[in-house]
Amino acid sequence: METLRTIARVPITVKRRVLVPTMGALHRGHLELIRIAREAAGKEGEVAASIFVNPLQFAPGGDYEKYPRPETDDEEFCRSAGVDILFRPSLDVMYAADFSIAIEENSLSTALCGKSRPGHFRGVCTVVAKLFHVLVPDAAVFGEKDFQQLAIIRRMVRDLNFQIEIIGAPTVRESDGLACSSRNQYLSATERQQAPVLRAALAEGARVAAGGERSASAIIATARKVIDMSPLARLDYLELVNADTLQPLEIVQPNSLIALAVFFGQTRLIDNIRLS
């Protein structure tokens, strides 16, 4: 594995390159992204991973400073997973001191997490576009746990004419159903015990929808009751939306999605489930 820290050293190759962008603190979910990237790259292709904790994604007073940065462990993780190129730039490599241009999506980013995290997706689009320009991948893999992010990146690729295939990877979960996330390590033992309530609430909403319930308000109310059973859970949002537009629905339609965000203390977790 070749580890690169400057843009000047990134090689241009005729091989099919598949990128896995990350902020580090790698876990089993990232391992699956890398596996999917390897499969998409093929025997003659290469997998590139990036590790960069992007300050543009964090709100003032957020957890940017304390976001985990286990550099040695992450590098060994990538090496063991079969990554060919690891790009881990410093802040000054990615952003000039007088950096003044950003990319903003103005439709999908107004829903769900965009309501409570203003500017977050501006940061996501900007850093991902920069990684695309620097690493010149043929494809990139993003997890479906961050469903809104995946939808926005697909929109950016479409609207800005990036010739890059975006591959969505199914959510990887712990044995109790909690979606794998770098932020799970922030949870106290009691919070971690209650955190699977996210998946339980989504599953209950999906169950009543599969049983014939069409009303979004009824489905959401059912899922909300499950969240309310966890005394440490503080709901940010719980919505039934169209998976393409991310706009709220009143009645279940084809391609519907239940998405939620829940706080445990200062730790904010997200999850989602598609309705069949």
Check: CB of residue 240 under 8 Å from CB of residue 258. Answer: yes
Quote the CA–CA distance of 147 and 166 in Å, as a whole number.
13
Q: Which residues pair with 179 in a beta bridge?
A: 173
Check: CB of residue 105 under 8 Å from CB of residue 125. Answer: yes
Check: CB of residue 169 under 8 Å from CB of residue 140. Answer: no
Which helix (H) or strand (E) segment is 155 a member of? helix 147-159
Helices 147-159 & 120-135 angle (0-180, nearest 10)? 60
Burial of 77 (0-12, 13-18, 19+ CB in 10 A): buried
30 is catalytic: yes
- Label the pairing between strands 165-169 and 256-264: unpaired
Catalytic member of 27, 30, 120, 133: 30
Quote the CA–CA distance of 41 and 117 in Å, as a whole number.
34
- Which residues belong to the active site? 30
